[in-house]
C-alpha cells in the first residue's frame, strides 16, 4: 500500500452533503465537495476545463479517451501541488510525470472525502488485444468503473454507467446496471455515439432499467 493511503474501514462513512457532480464529456466527471475538487478520467474527448481548480485527479486506465497526457502535463507544470492517481501502467503513457500508484483495496483521502479503489482489469475488447489494468473509483457512494463492468461489494448510491464502447454491447450495459442495482444511474462513455444513436440508446436503456436512469448533459451539474 502506498503512503497516504489506507485500507477502507466499512464502518466509516464519508458522506458529503450537497456534493456536486458535473459532466465534462465522454467519461470525465468532476466532483465539488465544498472542500475541494476531484476529477476522474479527463481524456481527449473531454473538455479540458474539467481540470480548472482540481485538487486531485484520478485516472482509471491509460487509454487516451480517459487520460489526456498533454493536458495533465500542463496542469502539473502550472500547479505541481495537484495530486494525480492511477494504476501503475500509467507510466507507459505519462513517462516521468509524477503520479501515485493505486490498486484495488486502496482508500485515498481527497477533497474532504474518501476515494475507494475497486477493480483490476479493463474489459476485453478482442482476444487479439491485450487487456490493460483498469481501476474504478467509489467517491462517497458514486461509482465510476472506467472501462470495466466491475460490481462493487458494497452499496452504490449512483452508478456512472458506460453505455457505448468497442468492448460493450447494449445487453451487457443493461445487465451491469441491474447487477449494481443503484437507485440512480447516469450514463457516461458515450462519445462514439451520434446524436441519433445517443437518443436511441438512452431511450432503450431507460425502458429496460427504469426510472433510475437519467442523463446529465455535458457541462451540466447534478447535486448528489
Tell me the CATH number at 90: 3.60.15.10
- Return the closest-CA partner of residue 183 out of 147, 224, 216: 224
**Is residue 12 situated within a structural domain?**
no
**Is residue 28 situated within a structural domain?**
yes
Measured CA to CA, the distance from residue 103 to residue 131 in angstroms comes to 16
pLDDT tens digits along 88-114: 999 999 999 999 999 999 999 999 999
pLDDT tens digits along 144-163: 999 999 999 999 999 999 99
With cell 448533459, the residue in question is 217
**Is residue 13 situated within a structural domain?**
no
**Is residue 152 situated within a structural domain?**
yes
133: pLDDT strictly greater than 60: yes
**Residue 109 is placed in which grid cell?**
483521502
pLDDT tens digits along 205-219: 999 999 999 999 999
**Is residue 220 situated within a structural domain?**
no
12: pLDDT strictly greater than 90: no
Quick one: how far is CA 41 from the chain centroid? 6
**Is residue 218 situated within a structural domain?**
no
Indicate the number of domains in the chain. 1
The pLDDT of residue 16:
63
**Is residue 49 situated within a structural domain?**
yes
| Pairing, β 158-162 against β 185-188 | parallel
Helix, strand, coil percentages in the chain from 3-state DSSP, rounded to 5: 20, 25, 55
> Comparing 187 with 16, which gets the higher pLDDT?
187
Q: Please check whether residue 89 is in contact with residue 62, taking contact to mean a CB–CB distance below 8 angstroms.
A: yes
Residue 46: how many other CB atoms lie within 10 Å: 25
Question: Domain of 186?
Answer: 20-212
**Is residue 25 situated within a structural domain?**
yes
Amino acid at each position: 500500500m502506498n503512503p497516504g493511503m489506507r485500507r477502507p474501514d466499512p464502518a466509516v462513512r464519508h458522506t458529503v452533503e450537497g456534493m456536486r457532480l458535473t459532466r465534462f464529456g465522454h467519461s470525465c466527471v468532476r466532483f465539488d465537495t465544498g472542500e475541494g475538487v476531484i476529477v476522474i478520467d479527463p481524456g481527449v474527448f473531454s473538455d479540458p476545463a474539467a481540470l480548472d481548480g482540481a485538487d486531485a485527479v484520478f485516472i482509471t486506465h491509460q487509454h487516451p479517451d480517459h487520460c489526456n497526457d498533454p493536458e495533465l502535463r500542463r496542469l502539473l507544470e502550472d500547479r505541481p501541488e495537484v495530486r494525480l492517481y492511477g494504476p501503475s501502467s500509467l507510466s507507459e503513457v505519462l513517462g516521468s510525470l509524477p503520479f501515485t500508484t493505486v490498486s484495488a483495496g486502496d482508500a485515498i483521502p481527497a477533497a474532504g472525502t474518501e476515494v475507494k479503489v475497486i477493480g483490476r482489469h479493463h474489459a476485453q475488447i478482442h482476444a487479439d488485444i491485450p487487456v490493460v489494468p483498469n481501476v474504478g473509483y467509489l467517491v462517497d457512494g458514486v461509482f465510476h468503473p472506467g472501462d470495466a463492468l466491475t460490481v462493487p461489494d458494497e452499496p452504490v448510491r449512483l452508478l456512472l454507467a458506460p453505455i457505448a464502447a468497442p468492448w460493450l454491447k447494449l445487453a451487457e450495459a443493461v445487465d451491469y446496471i441491474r447487477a449494481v442495482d443503484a437507485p440512480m444511474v447516469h450514463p457516461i462513455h458515450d462519445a462514439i455515439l451520434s446524436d441519433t444513436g445517443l437518443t436511441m440508446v438512452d431511450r432503450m436503456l431507460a425502458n429496460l432499467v427504469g426510472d433510475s436512469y437519467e442523463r446529465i448533459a455535458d457541462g451540466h451539474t447534478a447535486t448528489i
